[in-house]
Amino acid sequence: MLHVIGLGLGDATDVTVKGLETIRMCDRVYLESYTSILSISLMDLEQFYGCSILEADRELVENNVDEILPKDEKENVAFLVVGDPFGATTHSDLILRAREKGIKVKIIHNSSILTAIGCCGLQLYRFGETVSIPYWNNSWRPNSFYEKIISNRRRNLHTLCLLDIKVKEPTTESMVKKKKEYMPSQFMSVSEAATQLLEIIREKNEGIAEEAVLDESSLVVGLARIGWDNQRIVACPLGQMASVDLGPPLHSLIVPAIELHPLESEFITLHTGEQKH
Amino acid sequence: MLHVIGLGLGDATDVTVKGLETIRMCDRVYLESYTSILSISLMDLEQFYGCSILEADRELVENNVDEILPKDEKENVAFLVVGDPFGATTHSDLILRAREKGIKVKIIHNSSILTAIGCCGLQLYRFGETVSIPYWNNSWRPNSFYEKIISNRRRNLHTLCLLDIKVKEPTTESMVKKKKEYMPSQFMSVSEAATQLLEIIREKNEGIAEEAVLDESSLVVGLARIGWDNQRIVACPLGQMASVDLGPPLHSLIVPAIELHPLESEFITLHTGEQKH
């Protein structure tokens, strides 16, 4: 059987009791290591579980998934995912491949950044479509996320912006070589995300006189390491967020709706005094 | 300290290791018992935790919240919530009241129905605003959820419909009496939700010739007891869902986007053979 197990957002003890019991009885244990990060090392995780863990990078999961799947009916394989197993498309693919081969699949859910952000005080049912903000380079500057944020704001909805993660991405030069070489890992910060948003706003609004749906005075919320002991949440205008340093990854940015519910406003003020400049 | 602890969606073992350790060291433990249900009894939960649990009903949480909060700095109180602590507005209020009184608050996240629905194969980032479908009565037939579903579909987004739960609601007659009397608990089923949606569609489309954004032939997904051992997922046209019986609560209904991603379509077909008529 394939057990796809969410690990939650923080440290080793964020696994559920059911998840831990399952991991301990599995023959092989993989950790998906390219769409998120844990607050602890692989070695600490192995020690807590009392078993060894194989790292599943993008190449293994996307190109050699059969290697992960159980070899026969008796074998139990655990595939560990930070957060909830259904955050990333890739895991749907793994589950489909297992089902195709007649392998039973069991899911053990856990918390996800998609709902854990509720701890900032914005109501989860008031979030519209989630967007992803990718790193720009000189030739590639996609901005479709901006239109989605605006569309959410026009309907008075909040937007969660997931920020780009680059882990074990092959360098352009090594793509054609036999031996892949990887770029250093990169995790977009709230200040980088705010800077890209401000650039789009400047380009879009150039020469336009009417009031903007989103500008540098709009309230945004930066979140870092949610679920970790050292999590931080800061609420401030977008213009200010471009120079806020929330420390190590992972970061997320929320662009709230134009109007807040009184309970939301009250909660958000808990985070407005925290800025460090 | 006040510890607000998510229990996840299923049975006792869906609590996180961190959550369990915290519960066991608390002086008082409350279970919020009116916005969701667990698959096991309170007694089984007490046995698993090894401590007694106080039930926190709507009246206690909304009107006597101070009774729940820690009496002094040394007291540790656990407030247990099925799913993730931030699913319902009420818990924001509890946390704000604690913070006002200078009480430290710690959140322990867990899985929520808002993300666990990803197990049906629809991508979470393609969900628009979540809606709630309330029970109608003779004089009260709100239908604002319909417009939100249509608005999501126009932008090619999925909609999660949370279905009404009535637990410990006082009867109209008892509202004026000293001693409250309660109505029997009610949990809306996917067939009841589909029936109300079909009624709205008939009313809205009467005499309109143009093609509807949502009609009885539109694909919908019914989910029951997600995260439980006996969970069920059925995908079928809305017209058919009105007569599908998915068994005991809790149920949720998804109205998918008009176009599905190929991976989503493939996943959804896993659930189309399951209908029982």
User: Quick one: CATH architecture of A2-111?
Assistant: 3-Layer(aba) Sandwich (3.40)
| Percent of chain B surpassing pLDDT 90 | 77
Angle between helical axes of B190-205 and B144-154 (0-180°, round to 10): 80
| pLDDT for residue A13 | 96
What is the rounded distance in angstroms from the CA atom of residue A224 to the CA atom of residue A222?
A: 7
At CA B123, angle to CA A130 and CA B250, rounded to 5? 100
CB within 8 Å: B14 and A18: yes
10 Å Cβ neighbour count for A154?
12
A251 is in an annotated binding site: yes
- Measured between CA atoms, the residue of chain A closest to residue B226 is A109
8 Å CB contact of B18 and A16: no
Chain A residue at shortest CA distance from B262: A93
Which residue is closest to B149 within chain A, CA to CA?
A128
Phi-psi region of B39 (alpha: psi -120 to 50; beta: other; left: phi over 0): alpha
**Distance, in angstroms, between A41 CA and closest chain B CA?**
18
CA distance B209 to chain A (A): 28
pLDDT of residue A275: 40
| Residues linked to residue A106 through DSSP beta bridges, in sequence order | A3
By CA distance, what is A153's nearest residue in B? Answer: B129
Ranges of chain A with pLDDT below 50: 274-277
Nearest residue of chain B to residue A16 (CA atoms): B16
Flag whether B23 is marked binding: no
Sheet-wide strand order for B159-163: B131-133, B159-163, B251-255, B219-224, B232-237
The encoded tokens of residue B262 equal 């190929």
Q: B84 and A116 in contact by Cβ < 8 A?
A: yes
Cβ distance A56 to A32 under 8 Å?
yes
Of A95, A99, A130, the CB nearest to B125: A130
Judge whether B68 is annotated as a binding position.
Answer: no
Contacts with A17 from chain B: Cβ below 8 Å: 12-17, 20
CATH number for the segment(s) B114-274: 3.30.950.10
Q: Which residues of B touch A109 (CB under 8 A)?
A: 8-9, 14, 111, 115-116, 119, 227
- Beta sheet of A251-255, edge-to-edge order: A131-133, A159-163, A251-255, A219-224, A232-237
pLDDT tens, residue order, chain B (277 aa) = 999 999 999 899 999 999 999 999 999 999 998 878 888 899 999 999 999 999 998 889 888 999 999 999 999 999 999 999 987 667 888 999 999 999 999 999 999 999 999 999 999 999 999 999 999 988 999 999 999 999 999 999 999 999 999 887 778 777 777 777 888 889 999 999 999 999 999 998 876 766 789 999 999 999 999 999 999 999 999 999 999 999 999 999 999 999 999 999 999 999 997 443 3
Calculate the alpha carbon distances from B45 to A25, A102, B14, B34, B42 in Å.
24, 35, 11, 16, 5
Amino acid at B18: K
Using an 8 Å CB-CB cutoff, list chain B residues near A87: 115, 118, 124
Subunit contact A13:B13, Cβ cutoff 8 A? no
**Chain A residue closest to B105 (CA)?**
A119
pLDDT of residue A277: 37
Q: Where are the domains of chain B?
A: 2-111, 114-274
List the one residue out of B131, B201, B122 whose CA is nearest residue B156. B122
Do A115 and B84 count as a contact with CB atoms less than 8 A apart? yes
pLDDT at A33: 83
Closest-CA residue in chain B for A21? B13
Residues contacting residue B35 through CB under 8 Å, at least 6 positions apart:
B81, B82, B87, B88, B90, B165, B167
Give the one of A86, A111, A124 whose C-beta lies nearest to B109's C-beta: A111
B270 labelled ligand-binding: no
* CA nearest to B226, candidates B245, B255, B250: B250
Residue B114 has what pLDDT?
A: 94
Contacts of B84 in chain A (CB under 8 A): 111, 115-116, 118
- Residue-wise pLDDT for A139-160, tens only, equals 999 999 999 999 999 999 999 9
**Count of CA atoms in the C-beta half-sphere (13 A) of A94:** 34
Contact check, Cβ <8 Å, A16/B109: no
Q: Is B164 exposed, middle or buried (0-12, 13-18, 19+ CB in 10 A)?
A: middle
Query: Is B14 close to A16, i.e. CB distance below 8 A?
Result: yes
Contacts of A99 in chain B (CB under 8 A): 270
Which positions ≥6 away from B251 have C-beta within 8 Å? Answer: B163, B187, B188, B189, B190, B193, B222, B223, B224
Pairing relationship of beta strands A232-237 and A219-224 according to DSSP bridges: antiparallel
B87 assigned to a ligand binding site: yes
CA-to-CA distance for A272 and B105, rounded, in angstroms?
18
Residue among A15, A125, A130 minimizing CB distance to B16: A15
| Number of Cβ atoms within 10 Å of the Cβ of A12 | 19
Q: What pLDDT, on a 0 to 100 scale, did the predictor assign at position B276?
A: 39
Q: Which residues of A touch B96 (CB under 8 A)?
A: 263, 266-267
Distance in Å, alpha carbon of A208 to nearest chain B alpha carbon: 26
Chain B contact set for A86 (CB, 8 A): 115-116, 118-119, 124
CA distance A82 to chain B (A): 12
What pLDDT is recorded for position B209? 65
Interface test with A, best of B84, B145, B229, B271 (most A CBs within 10 A): B84
Q: Indicate yes or no: CB of B115 within 8 angstroms of CB of A118.
A: no
